[in-house]
Amino acid sequence: MASDGATYRGLLVDWGGVLTTNLFDSFRAFCAAEGLEPESLGRHLREHRKSREMLINLETGSLPEEEFEPMFAAALGVEPTGLIDRLFAGSGPEPAMFAAVSSARRAGIRTGLISNSWGTRRYPRDQFAELFDGVVISGEVGMRKPAPEMYTLGAERIGLPPEECVYVDDLPFNLTPAAELGMATVRHVAAEQTVAELEALLGFELR
């Protein structure tokens, strides 16, 4: 970690739930639209071994989404067509976080993305050159968070050691490996809070 009084030189962020609105709200909206219990999707992914295996294989790129969708739809008891798009239909960009990352980069902070992907085609890649110095997407590198190698690679791709980076994620268990590598970590709950924490760590206002 940077020494007392020093600022960090790198900012690494998650995508879904950080640069987008809350994914679990989207999942609950999907459940409501499909006539499922509000928390059934999250519970399914946590408690059903085969569903978790499907998700892990999707995120690491070993299960194509055209194979994942009918398998996962059958497990949920829903129509498979466009399943992933329907799951994420209730989420969208989080403008304040886009602005914070862009502001940090303009100020000279090295910025990067570390994201577990539900398929790799849904990212707005036309914006990546403006936002990031380096990108790590699980389905493209064959591993997923919370594998420590994801964070190491993220730091490498922005040209910094882990201890000079801040990492932001909405899921606490994804923060632990980053902290163990020496990164400062911020759990994202709301943009205003996250931006304030980043300003304190980076040493300047994100405007």
Final residue belonging to a domain, choices 46, 69, 87: 87
Residue 174 has pLDDT above 70, yes or no: yes
DSSP alpha helix (H) spans, the chain: 23-34, 40-47, 49-59, 65-76, 83-87, 95-106, 128-131, 138-141, 148-157, 172-180, 191-202
| Domain ranges, residue 189 | 10-21+92-202
Is 5 contained in some domain? Answer: no
Q: Of the candidates 26, 31, 138, which has an alpha carbon nearest to the alpha carbon of residue 88?
A: 26
Domains of the chain: total: 2
Is 2 contained in some domain? Answer: no
Rounded to an integer, the average pLDDT of 49-67 is 95
Q: Which tens digit of pLDDT belongs to each residue from 70-99?
A: 999 999 999 999 999 999 999 999 999 999
Per-residue confidence at 162, pLDDT binned at 50, 70, 90?
very high
Q: What is the pLDDT of residue 1?
A: 40
pTM of the model: 0.94
What mean pLDDT is reported for the chain?
Answer: 94
Per-residue confidence at 5, pLDDT binned at 50, 70, 90?
very low
Q: Are 34 and 62 found together in one domain?
A: yes
Is 30 contained in some domain? Answer: yes
Residue 3 has pLDDT above 60, yes or no: no
> Helix-strand-coil percent breakdown of the chain, rounded to 5?
50, 10, 35
Rounded to an integer, the average pLDDT of 128-142 is 96
